[in-house]
């Protein structure tokens, strides 16, 4: 059964007219139920991630300042959210949802998180609505738990063998949010175990891009046909080359033409075709995939919800129908 992380804390109350569509974390699960894409049993409430797991990615200085809300105004402005204890707490459950999603993906092939995709968070600072990097933390968690070092030691408390006796030594991050995964690229800059692939609007934020293992910068106004052609010419070859044991997919829907913060011109159908292609490819190659939501800033929130819901629909149809 498809497993989807969702926690009431995901919906954080923002000042009215804040440009981040926080309501989507509340509306999306309701929509999935209404449309029959999910039933209640698909959802699970994630646990709170541990400090140990966070500190495999984030610096102790940054993390402890975040916990103490000891972040200066300039840094907070960069983050884009009013910083309160609840927001920091929320991040812990989102990361828990991504990590637990990895466990479900190992069992079922795929799992999703209603939030997450916080790819602009660096080891030592946050920016652009991202405080702590969920998929980066989950990637290190997987490597720590299933990496050759521990997984091969019989009865090691951290070792875990599923029925496939799985070892995870190589991870691929497929980041198709319209904005470059700058934080993620920087975090794994010198970590050969994680290959970062980001396909994004070349002229979109972040204006100073980091160097991912593979970056594809798309022209303004790129439409479905071209977008999908580039993706189809890239992803299967990349999987062949990298040979990942696990894939993270960041399925931002800010590639839509209607998006306020994106500069591409994809349709909602094109966005769904993208999700279908990524998931079918993962399934065909028998590589487990965890999906976090990422951005979506179309003025009509219903469009954001519909585009995100398509990712769930594709996961259901590719893996479970």
CB of 37 to Zn ion, least distance (A): 23
Binders of Zn ion in range 242-271 (CB under 5 A): 252, 254
Cβ distance to Zn ion smaller for residue 292 or 316: 292
Smaller CB distance to Zn ion: residue 127 or 177?
A: 177
Q: Any idea which residue has 């049993």 for tokens?
A: 41
Q: Is 172 left (phi over 0), alpha (psi -120 to 50) or beta?
A: beta
| Residue 179 in contact with Zn ion, rule: CB under 5 A | yes
Minimum Å gap between C-beta 295 and Zn ion is 3
Minimum distance from residue 179 beta carbon to Zn ion (Å)? 4
Stretch that binds Zn ion, among 159-167, 175-183, 222-230, 313-321 (CB under 5 A): 175-183
| Window contacting Zn ion (CB under 5 A); options: 214-222, 224-232, 282-290, 295-303 | 295-303
Please say which residue, 288 or 295, places its beta carbon nearer to Zn ion: 295
Chain-centre distance for alpha carbon 59: 20
Residue 255 beta carbon to Zn ion: minimum distance, rounded to whole angstroms: 9
For the chain, the distance separating the N- and C-terminal CA atoms, rounded to the nearest angstrom, is: 10
Locus of tokens 């590589």: 287
Q: Token digits for 156?
A: 């090691």
Q: Considering the complex, state which of residue 21 and residue 109 has its C-beta at the smaller distance from Zn ion.
A: 21
Q: Which of 177/306 has CB closer to Zn ion?
A: 177
Q: How far apart are CA 1 and CA 238, in angstroms?
A: 28
| Residue whose entry in the numeric block shows the structure tokens 């769904």 | 272
What H or E segment, with its residue span, contains residue 153? none
Q: How far is the CB of 182 from Zn ion (least distance, A)?
A: 11
Closest CA to 99 of 67, 66, 136, 52: 136
Should residue 101 be labelled a site residue for Zn ion when binding is judged by CB under 5 A? no
Minimal distance, residue 199 CB to Zn ion, in Å: 12
**In the complex, least distance from residue 283 CB atom to Zn ion, rounded to whole angstroms:** 25
Q: Locate all alpha helices (DSSP H) within the chain, ordered by sequence.
A: 24-34, 51-54, 60-67, 73-79, 85-108, 134-146, 148-151, 182-187, 224-242, 268-284, 301-319
Q: Which stretch binds Zn ion (CB under 5 A): 6-14, 34-42, 138-146, 292-300?
A: 292-300
Using rule CB under 5 A, residue 116 touches Zn ion: no
122, 178, 138: which is closest to 295 by C-alpha? 178
Which CB sits closer to Zn ion, 58 or 179?
Answer: 179
d(CA 201, CA 128): 16
State yes or no: residue 274 binds Zn ion (CB under 5 A): no
Q: How many CB atoms lie within 10 A of CB 169?
A: 17
Q: Is residue 249 within a helix (H) or strand (E), and if so which, with residue range? A: strand 246-250
Residue 20 or 44 with smaller CB distance to Zn ion: 20
Q: How many helices (H) and strands (E) does the chain have?
A: 11, 8
Answer yes or no whether residue 117 interacts with Zn ion by CB under 5 A: no
Interface residue with Zn ion among 95, 115, 295, 316 (CB under 5 A) is: 295
- Give whichever of 127 and 224 is closer to Zn ion, judged by the CB atom: 127
Residue 191 CB, shortest distance to Zn ion, in Å, is 23
Site of interaction with Zn ion (CB under 5 A): 177, 179, 252, 254, 295
């Amino acid at each position: 059964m498809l497993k989807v992380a969702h926690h009431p804390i995901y919906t954080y109350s923002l000042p009215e007219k804040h440009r981040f569509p926080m309501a989507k974390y509340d509306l999306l699960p309701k929509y999935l139920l209404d449309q029959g894409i999910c039933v209640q049993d698909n959802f699970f409430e994630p646990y709170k991630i541990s400090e140990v797991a966070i500190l495999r990615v984030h610096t102790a200085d940054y993390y402890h300042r975040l916990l103490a809300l000891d972040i200066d105004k300039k840094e907070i402005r960069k983050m884009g959210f009013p910083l309160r204890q609840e927001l920091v707490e929320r991040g812990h459950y989102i990361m828990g949802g991504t990590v637990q999603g990895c466990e479900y993906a190992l069992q079922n092939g795929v799992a999703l998180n209603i939030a997450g995709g916080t790819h602009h968070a660096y080891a030592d600072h946050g920016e652009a609505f991202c405080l702590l990097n969920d998929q980066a933390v989950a990637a290190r968690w997987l490597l720590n738990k299933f990496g050759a070092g521990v997984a091969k030691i019989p009865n090691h408390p951290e070792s875990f063998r599923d029925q496939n006796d799985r070892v995870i030594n190589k991870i691929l991050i497929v980041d198709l949010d319209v904005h470059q995964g700058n934080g993620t690229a920087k975090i794994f800059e010198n970590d050969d175990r994680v290959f970062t692939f980001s396909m994004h609007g070349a002229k979109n934020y972040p204006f100073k891009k980091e160097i991912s293992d593979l970056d594809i910068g798309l022209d303004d106004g790129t439409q479905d046909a071209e977008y999908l052609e580039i993706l189809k010419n890239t992803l299967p070859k990349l999987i062949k080359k990298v040979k990942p044991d696990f894939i993270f997919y960041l399925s931002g829907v800010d590639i839509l033409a209607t998006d306020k913060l994106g500069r591409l011109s994809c349709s909602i159908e094109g966005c769904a075709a993208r999700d279908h292609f990524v998931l079918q490819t993962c399934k065909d190659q028998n590589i487990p995939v965890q999906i976090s939501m990422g951005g979506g800033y179309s003025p009509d929130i219903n469009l954001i919800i519909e585009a995100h819901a398509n990712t769930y629909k594709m996961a259901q149809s590719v893996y479970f129908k």
